[in-house]
Structure 1
Amino acid sequence: MKTSTFIAMMAIALFAACKGRNGGYEVVNNDSSTSADTANGSSITDSIAEAKPKLVKTADISFKVKNVQQTGDSISRLTAKLSGMVMHHQMGTSIQRSEDMRLSNDSVLRVSAFNTTADMTVKVPSEKLEDFMNHVSHMGIYVISSKMDIEDKSLDYLSAKLKLKNRLEMVAQQKTGKIKIKNPEAVLWLKDDMIDGQINNQKIDQAVSFSVVSLNFYQSNTIYKETIANDDPSAYKMPFGNRLLMALSNGWYLFIDLIIGLANLWVLLLAGIGLWMAFKVYKRKYPVINV
């Protein structure tokens, strides 16, 4: 049996198992033969044996340093020296506790204890990963944890490569009319899957060539002293003597305001005096007689 026939049957089985974006690919094979070609199976076995290992290395390290900012700069320089790249760098500071000590009415000494940490993600050539980890571990006071993992992507890479080869052959046979695909959109989906497979293999190649290292480091709490303005309004009160003089002055002004207020009521005072005098006259003319 021809090899092309076997490839066609393999493609049919592949599409039925994987399912396309619209529920599956519908394929019609013009060749009526159904037996498998063992030669093609042996070629796949040979490809597996000859495949180059695709080892993806990742690492992470956590350690304590004397100065976070200086260590971050040193790691960046080391990464560039090894032809790597810094993918992520974040440094942050958090105040652990703070205390204010009064120096005068308008100034305060603030003493703060703050913690500084940093996170970095770098890519370095895989063959230089161990050198990078050794250099970084010597930058710290001590290493809290260090880990390196190796994942073998060889079979995933080979699987995508063989699938791509089969799909390329199927597209070629579809163009020549040996294989007919009922749904025209399935051809586009097939080509998209081929592109996805190529992109995934390129990602694996990049992961094999460059290892990703995650770093976390911190330093001891730092004490910082600063003199700042007192933000408590109650601390800005006048001295006792000044406040007493101001109170006496305010009392005098209140007394004057009272006199002025009474002066404004002179009409009422005259009316009251008139009523009181009329009452006295009335009592004289009509004295009360006790029986």
Structure 2
Amino acid sequence: MKTITKLGLTTLVITTLLFSCKKADYATSETADYAVDSTAISSSAAVEKKDSNQKFIRTADLKFKVKNVVKSTYAIENAVQKFGGFVTYTNLQSTIQDQIKTKISQDSTLETTKFTVENNITIRVPNTQLDTVIKTIARQIDFLDFRVIKADDVSLKLLGNQLSQKRNSESADRITKAIDNKGKKVNDIVDAENTLANQKEANDNAVLNNLSLKDQINFSTVTLQLYQNQTVKQEVTASEKDGSSYEPNLGIQIVDALKNGLYIIQAVFVFFLNLWPFILIAIGCYLAYKKYFKK
């Protein structure tokens, strides 16, 4: 009986361990799949159907880390061009976080620079190719910070602009006919012409708004923020010599001192030579004093 009990306990322990291992493997597999899915950043949000009357302006905003910003930038730009899009803005820059200079010899210095590289990109891609472009961009992602995709339904705005355009056009036609048929007074004609100009301006604005909406519908705008881990660059440069390294030797300094003394003597002699009239007058006064006033 004891043997059977021990055997049952052993079987229960082994079964529990196997179940735990299997559960752990399943959890690991599920986590791995989730990690893979997190990089699949495409979205079918608000994809227009062929027979649908709804029109959407789709935009995307992404921030993610890559292994190399420069290489990823080139890859993204090539992908955008491949799928019929274009880049409207890119700002690739390096920001220095810290810079340390360490003197390693008499004439050499080790310069250590810590910096980060980032790039902000704005692209326009055909609306039908948005998901494909985003899937292509996903290959560059090392870590995804966030992904925001918006789809604004502008069907009513398009219809409103079309109706406004139609009303303005009809009103402009009626005013034109009234001017041609009944306009006699100058003031009436001027007022009618101003009204007609306002109607045409409103009509043009409606046309431009519709064109702008259609452009945003046909080409989605994607804003990307790329960054990478901090990079450390070390470079050995020549050390800058201090002022004492450029001073002349003692012999040259002695010769220069003698020359400077000679120049000073010459300057003093010339100075007194320029005062010869005053010196001559002083000598004359002294001789006159000695000859006449001293007696």
Calculate the TM-score normalised by the size of structure 1. 0.62
> Aligned partners of 2:214 and 2:182: how far apart in 1?
33
Larger mean Cα displacement after TM superposition, 209-218 or 124-133: 124-133
**Letter of the structure 2 residue corresponding to residue 207 of structure 1:** Q
1:204 aligned residue: 213
Equivalent residue, structure 1, for 2:28: none
2:259 is equivalent to residue 231 of structure 1: no
Q: Deviations over 1:235-263 (max 9, x none)?
A: 8489xxx99xx59x96xx89xx9xxx9xx
Change (3 A) 1:123 1:222: same
Alpha-carbon deviation of 1:179? Answer: 9.6
Cα deviation digits, residues 146-184 of structure 1 (max 9, x gap): 110011111111111101101111122222329988442
Equivalent residue letter for 1:215: L
The C-alpha deviation readout for 1:15-50, integer Å capped at 9, x for no partner, is xxxxxxxxxxxxxxxxxxxxxxxxxxxxxxxxxxx9
CA contact (8 A) 2:61 2:148 kept: yes
- The unaligned stretches of length 5 or more in structure 2 are 1-50, 266-295
Change (3 A) 1:142 1:171: same
> Tell me, what secondary structure is at the counterpart of 1:115?
strand
Indicate whether 1:191 and 2:200 are aligned. Answer: yes
Count how many residue pairs are aligned between Structure 1 and Structure 2. 202
CA distance in structure 1 between the aligned counterparts of 2:52 and 2:139, rounded to whole angstroms: 38
Cα distance change of structure 1 residues 191 and 226 upon mapping to structure 2, 3 Å threshold: same
The separation in 1 between residues aligned to 2:174 and 2:113, in whole angstroms, is: 75
Q: Check whether the contact 1:63–1:137 (CA below 8 A) recurs between aligned residues.
A: no
- 1:97-246 equivalence runs, <5 A: 97-177=98-178, 182-231=191-240, 233=242, 236=245, 246=250
Q: Which amino acid aligns with 2:218?
A: S
Q: Say whether the 8 Å CA contact 2:176–2:196 is kept in structure 1.
A: no
What is aligned with 1:79?
80
Q: How does 1:51-66 map to 2 (within 5 A)?
A: 52-66=53-67
What is the alpha-carbon distance in structure 1 between the residues aligned to residue 195 and residue 241 of structure 2? 74
State the alpha-carbon separation in 2 of the partners of residues 96 and 67 from structure 1.
Answer: 18
User: How far apart, CA to CA, are the structure 2 residues paired with 1:97 and 1:229?
Assistant: 20
Taking only aligned residues, the RMSD between alpha carbons, in angstroms, comes to 3.1
For residues 123-151 of structure 1, give each alpha carbon's deviation from its aligned partner in whole angstroms, at most 9, with x where no partner exists.
11112212222221221211111110011
Deviation at 1:229, TM superposition (A): 2.4
Match of 1:172, SS?
helix
**2-structure distance, mates of 1:201, 1:237:** 73
Percent of aligned pairs with the same amino acid: 23
How far, CA to CA, are the matches of 1:140 and 1:172 in structure 2? 57
Give the secondary structure class of the aligned counterpart of 2:225.
Answer: strand
- For structure 1, list consecutive stretches of 5 or more residues without a partner in the other structure: 1-49, 262-291
Determine which structure has the larger helix proportion and give its number: 2
